[in-house]
Structure 1
Amino acid sequence: MKDLFVIRNTHSGVISGNFVLPMAFRIENDNMGAKGDFTVSLTEPILVDEERKNLLETIVEQINIVLYTIIPGLQVTIKNYGKQSLDDGEEGWKLELMSKKEGMKEIPLRMESEGIIKIISILNALMQAFGNPSVCLVIDELDSGIFEYMLGELLDIFKKSAKGQLIFTSHNLRALEMIDKESIMFSTTNPNNRYIHMKNVRESNNLRNMYIRSITLGGQSEEIYEETDSLKIARAFRKAGRGARGE
């Protein structure tokens, strides 16, 4: 039985809103064992007890091992504003996630791009899937907010060296150039047969080009794109524009 992680598209949605960072994690060491999402506010410092403070420090320490190689020179730090009482009267700590780059001042993590924040949010889970054969990581819309070239590099590394399993959905066609064709399924317009493998694919075929050709010319067992008419779309835009101007 695999250790299953599922990261839904709502995960990316809250990151796009730039107010919350949900950090997917799995920690196993001599001091703790935990798994889930550690949600951190991006708009203000958070107030946590000692246990969650230690957990956040462990997560950040782990992701920094890999982060600076993906985004050269970048590290996540925790700014500690000191102790503050929790609502229950217990002792807590006021913390804020910061971004630190070589030769530059620390800035709040929220000032980084959506793509960088997205990578930070899933990086611990990616590390677990990469190094642990018992982990199956499922990510909806992996490509959301991530620079296309960086997406390709991550997929290539996983294809060559990962021990665990990564399952993901993506709208970005870069994945078609980086993953073996046997590992890719395409969505169709048929609700009774929603996913298919591309047929008649040879080793020499460029799967990205073949997919685009199949959209325009067909040739697969199912329709993979509901055809649109660019002329009708243009007329609809013109009509809408006239309506907006009151013509």
Structure 2
Amino acid sequence: MFTRVKIKNYKSLINLDVDLSAKKKQPKPLVVIYGENGVGKSNFASVFFTLCESLSTMLARTELQKLIDRNDLKDLIHDEEFRKWIAENLKDTESIIKSCKTINSTENMVLEFEFVIENKHGRYLIEYDDSKIVHEKLEYVLNKNRTLFFEIAGDKIKVNEKIFKDGEYLKEFYDLLEKYNGKHSFLSILIFEIEDKADGYVKQRINERLYEVLVSFILMSVRVKSGYGIERGFRGLRHKIFKDLDEGVISIEDEEELNKAEKMINEFFTLAYSDIKEAYYKREKIDGKIKYNLFFKKMMYGKIVDISYELESTGTQALLQIMPFLLMSVEGRTVIIDELDTGIHDLLINNVLCNISDSTRGQLIITTHNTMFLESPDINPEYIYTFFVDKDANKELVSIVEFEDRTHPNLNYRNRYLKGMYGGIPFTRDIDFEELLEIME
């Protein structure tokens, strides 16, 4: 869970320092971010997605090679849409830089994260120039005190030998660091090693604290907007079916998992919607597999009608898509959701967030335009942030309580936000649409 994020030259965020800590430097369990369109909310959420991508460049390289080697995909390799999918989902370091570094910036892109895992504080920094990683550093608690785990700056590689239990493996890993220096991060190489080697081989040869950091980062879940599309950062889900709650094919041995998902979805949607009487999966068993599709029994004009999930409203579909992320935050993971409220009724999403706010054992960071959250007695005002932009277009992302001399239970934060007292709202002049039409004619 994160207590501070520092960003330099990342997309539209030139210089941003965001404090996400509560009292005693503990991470806030909920962070709700407001701001006008185009101010950088999605870019801030994307920072965490970029962290996930930086952990996966070695794995992406291997997956790409597997695709290239597959005979059944040789015709697709030159297909424009397929190549676009590869570019979006299997990024190397250079691609990350190209898509994330501020346009026309001559300075390096820097992402720095301060975090807490099991009450132990740490800091991770990764810095890029125009084509490669030029600086990477991890500090975390070893035994009782926070210390340097590793730092790589250009050709200088410094590794704390205590984070490795096996001297031979340290030498082997050091060779990998020199070989891939600048192309892949330390953590990316280590994650690849864990996946590539025999089960448990690497885990037995590195310190428990280093593995603790890796697991915390890998299990982070991120959902961010990219233009009209959506990127998902599913990492290490304990329930595989969370990836395909609407439809899919599973082994018949996994039917119990499907039964649990059906029960969970039925519980949620029958409570959230008055007209949904039941949620269930239509199943077809073929050759030891189960093909399933989600359906709802709905009351329509006095009759119960079976409706396929794919025919449901965008709001209902959006709710199902964010459910796994919300459950991950309850389980204790770090979860980032960009535009939580997209397509969902204000009252409904307000009820969902208020209900989950007391259940989150991890950290839930969301961006939103729904101002109802500002009036909710279940959401601590200290958890609500807004982008403030000064006259020179310098940006800050701060908690709204920093704008007040003192907090008061009767203070109407929503009214004060809508009046522009916290920034984060658009100020526009009157628009004459008849004049716009005249220009075209």
Structure 2 residue 435 is the aligned partner of structure 1 residue 239: yes
1:224 CA drift (Å): 3.4
**Hey, what's the Cα distance between the residues in 2 that align with 1:98 and 1:11?**
30
Give the 3-state SS of the residue equivalent to 2:282 in structure 1: strand
Specify the alignment match of 1:78 in structure 2.
281
1:8 CA drift (Å): 1.9
Structure number with greater Rg is: 2
Structure 2 CA distance for partners of 1:59 and 1:195, relative to 1, 3 Å: same
Specify the alignment match of 2:163 in structure 1.
none
Q: Structure 1: which amino acid aligns with 2:427?
A: E
Contact 2:245/2:261 (CA < 8 Å) preserved in 1? no
Give the 3-state SS of the residue equivalent to 1:239 in structure 2: helix
Contact 1:6/1:138 (CA < 8 Å) preserved in 2? yes
Specify the alignment match of 1:104 in structure 2.
304
Give matches, 1:145-164, under 5 Å.
145-164=343-362
1:153-183 Cα offsets, whole Å, 9 max, x none, are 1222223444333211001111111222111
Specify the alignment match of 2:333 in structure 1.
135
Structure 2 residue 429 is the aligned partner of structure 1 residue 229: yes
Q: Structure 2: which amino acid aligns with 1:9?
A: K
The gaps in structure 1 that reach 5 residues or longer are 15-21, 28-32, 85-90
Contact 2:388/2:398 (CA < 8 Å) preserved in 1? yes
Specify the alignment match of 2:366 in structure 1.
168
Give the 3-state SS of the residue equivalent to 1:240 in structure 2: helix
Give the 3-state SS of the residue equivalent to 1:146 in structure 2: coil
Contact 1:188/1:194 (CA < 8 Å) preserved in 2? yes
Structure 2 CA distance for partners of 1:226 and 1:152, relative to 1, 3 Å: closer
Give the 3-state SS of the residue equivalent to 1:195 in structure 2: strand
Structure 2 CA distance for partners of 1:66 and 1:225, relative to 1, 3 Å: closer
Structure 2 CA distance for partners of 1:34 and 1:81, relative to 1, 3 Å: closer
Specify the alignment match of 2:223 in structure 1.
7
Q: Structure 2: which amino acid aligns with 1:98?
A: F
Structure 2 CA distance for partners of 1:61 and 1:9, relative to 1, 3 Å: farther
Give the TM-score taking structure 2 as reference length.
Answer: 0.41
1:25 CA drift (Å): 9.7
Specify the alignment match of 2:375 in structure 1.
177
Structure 2 CA distance for partners of 1:227 and 1:11, relative to 1, 3 Å: closer
Q: Structure 2: which amino acid aligns with 1:125?
A: F
How many pairs were matched up?
212
Structure 2 CA distance for partners of 1:40 and 1:211, relative to 1, 3 Å: same
1:166-203 Cα offsets, whole Å, 9 max, x none, are 21100111111122211100012356433122212641
Specify the alignment match of 1:195 in structure 2.
397
**Hey, what's the Cα distance between the residues in 2 that align with 1:68 and 1:165?**
27
Specify the alignment match of 2:177 in structure 1.
none
Which of residues 292, 304, 309 is equivalent to 1:95?
292
**Hey, what's the Cα distance between the residues in 1 that align with 2:228 and 2:297?**
23
**Hey, what's the Cα distance between the residues in 2 that align with 1:196 and 1:5?**
23
1:26-46 Cα offsets, whole Å, 9 max, x none, are 86xxxxx445852477xxx75
Which of residues 317, 338, 351 is equivalent to 1:117?
317
Q: Structure 1: which amino acid aligns with 2:435?
A: K
The gaps in structure 2 that reach 5 residues or longer are 1-116, 118-215
Q: Cα RMSD between the aligned structures?
A: 3.5
Specify the alignment match of 1:38 in structure 2.
243
1:83 CA drift (Å): 1.5
Structure 2 CA distance for partners of 1:177 and 1:39, relative to 1, 3 Å: same
Structure 2 CA distance for partners of 1:229 and 1:36, relative to 1, 3 Å: farther
Contact 2:279/2:297 (CA < 8 Å) preserved in 1? yes
Identity, % of aligned pairs? Answer: 22
1:35-58 Cα offsets, whole Å, 9 max, x none, are 5852477xxx75555467665444
Q: Structure 2: which amino acid aligns with 1:60?
A: E
Structure 2 residue 429 is the aligned partner of structure 1 residue 213: no
Give the 3-state SS of the residue equivalent to 1:205 in structure 2: coil
Structure 2 CA distance for partners of 1:105 and 1:92, relative to 1, 3 Å: same
Give the 3-state SS of the residue equivalent to 2:395 in structure 1: coil
Contact 1:25/1:59 (CA < 8 Å) preserved in 2? no
**Hey, what's the Cα distance between the residues in 2 that align with 1:36 and 1:7?**
17
**Hey, what's the Cα distance between the residues in 2 that align with 1:124 and 1:116?**
14
Contact 1:64/1:75 (CA < 8 Å) preserved in 2? yes
Contact 2:386/2:398 (CA < 8 Å) preserved in 1? yes
Specify the alignment match of 2:263 in structure 1.
61
Structure 2 CA distance for partners of 1:48 and 1:34, relative to 1, 3 Å: closer
Give the 3-state SS of the residue equivalent to 2:336 in structure 1: strand
**Hey, what's the Cα distance between the residues in 1 that align with 2:220 and 2:294?**
27
